[in-house]
Structure 1
Amino acid sequence: MSWFRCAEPRPWASMRLFCLPHAGGSAVFYRTWAKEISPAVEVHAVQYPGRADRMAEPLVADAHQLARLVAGAMAPLADRPAALFGHSMGAVIAYEAARLLQERGSAPVHLFASGARPPHDRGDERVADRDDDGVVAEMVKLGGTDAEALRDPELRELVLPYVRNDFALIESYAHRDGVRLTVPVTAIVGDADPHVTADQAAGWGEVTDGRFALRTLPGGHFYLADRQPDVIAEILRTLEVPAG
């Protein structure tokens, strides 16, 4: 099964944007981006195994392994410049994938890290160790559409295993010494995010020798659901792509 969902293939596009979802998320989170973004950008949303149309596949429990698989799947699509956008857990996976791609000589042109603490400052919270109600409570606190799905008993039975897996994956992640990014990085955070402050997000500047920018937008952890036009405008401005 393919790792990417491309709602609108654009063979003429000058650039690809690979979008990585949060813990418990799927490619559908980015479904509307293709319609909003410039025609010059082809959006590919990553579909992690063990959910949605990959439900039958085994979950990946290690962040470094997941990044290797994503980077490997990107290799055949290296004919055009690519940028990475990751939200929350997806930001860390995008970072690790960017390191691998850079090491292999196909570095992305930019890394956007959204709603996430930097790789070397992950905190010690353990949501994965909570009971089912505790995991659901954390999802509700963070917000987003996944929290609504967890209120339904039948959906909860389907969704909770991969939600718990993802929390365990990111909470057990440890940054390793190795390739240092030269890729430019932009960190974006909601000003009312209970998970990461703007000061913490600023730490992303320490992971690259490239230029760094921090952007704060109104909203909580899933600020980008409400501020999608602003996020896409920031991406296009940063990548110097015309909006229309």
Structure 2
Amino acid sequence: MVSVDTGAWIHRYAPAPDAPTRLVCLPHAGGSASFFLPVARAMSPETDVLSIQYPGRQDRRHEPCADSIEELAHGVVDALTPWLDRPVTLFGHSMGAMVAFEVARLLEDAGTVPLGVIASGRRAPSRTRPQQDLVHLRDDRGLMDEIRQLEGTDARLLEDEELLRMILPAIRGDHRVVERYVYRPGPPLTCPVLSLIGDTDPQVTDDEASSWAEHTTGPFTKTVFPGGHFYLNSQAADVIRLISEHIHTTRAAVAR
């Protein structure tokens, strides 16, 4: 089981203790909390950004990776408990969107409705694809080929063998939990859901992203950006602006 340690799970790169809301950022497969450092800096002090660090990487690299998306979600919820004194929005990219969905389910089951779920670069949980090639079962070269194809990692890092030895276990472990994930039917969320995708992303089609609407009784919106799976790297300013607007709009709606 994943050990529960709020200090290990949550990184605050630009604390905003007086902000009225919090944004919880959940990384992609192989990603880490530091991926969201620019988001934290851009959104402070209006929003307090909590960046989630999964086990098995960076300062948690000596911990085993999680065995499932659900296990990660439970760990995140336990770590978030002290931070639920104000409304939270969940923002997850790729694998992080799956974790965000399961976190939102747990929170709503416990009586805490998130301000919203922002699902980036991921098809709706109920939409599946035939898995003819399981990435987590590839050898190291095959795993690196997948990383290069998605263009989310600096190519220079992939040439550093020492660094690769450090990050490949987390990447493989994350792909394993993603590829083993099975959607469990249940009540839809009640909070707003925003889907963000890149128009050339091989991991999610426009139709697969639109299916997020089936997972909430609240408002659903979708925005398509130019770019591939990591469109948010080149479109960072516009993505952050959209997230800020989404938080402001949903918070105002709740207040009314």
TM range (shorter): over 0.9
User: Does residue 222 of structure 2 align to residue 214 of structure 1?
Assistant: yes
Bigger shift: 5-14 or 32-41?
Answer: 32-41
Instruction: Provide the alpha-carbon RMSD of the alignment.
Output: 1.3
Distance, in Å, in 1 between the alignment partners of 2:172 and 2:155 is 13
Query: Match for 2:94 among 69, 88, 92?
Result: 88
Query: Is the CA contact (8 Å cut-off) linking 2:188 and 2:214 kept in structure 1?
Result: no
AA partner of residue 16 (structure 2)? R
Query: Match for 1:158 among 157, 163, 166?
Result: 166
Q: Alpha-carbon deviations, 1:200-220, whole Å to 9, x = none?
A: 111111111111001001111
Partner of residue 147, structure 2: 139
Partner of residue 7, structure 1: 13
User: Does residue 107 of structure 2 align to residue 106 of structure 1?
Assistant: no
Identity of aligned residues (%): 45
How do 1:1-244 and structure 2 match up within 5 A?
A: 1=5, 2=7, 3-37=9-43, 39-125=45-131, 126-145=134-153, 148-240=156-248
Aligned length: 241
Query: Is the CA contact (8 Å cut-off) linking 2:28 and 2:94 kept in structure 1?
Result: yes
AA partner of residue 158 (structure 1)? M
Partner of residue 252, structure 2: none
Return 5+ residue gaps in structure 2 as ranges: 250-256
Distance, in Å, in 2 between the alignment partners of 1:156 and 1:211 is 42
Counterpart of 2:188 in 1: which secondary structure?
Answer: coil
AA partner of residue 150 (structure 1)? L
Runs (4+) of structure 1 exceeding 3 A deviation are none
AA partner of residue 111 (structure 1)? V
Question: Alpha carbons of 1:103 and 1:60: their partners in 2 closer, same or farther (altered >3 Å)?
Answer: same
AA partner of residue 75 (structure 1)? T
TM-score, with normalisation over the residues of structure 1?
0.95
TM-score, with normalisation over the residues of structure 2?
0.91
Return 5+ residue gaps in structure 1 as ranges: none
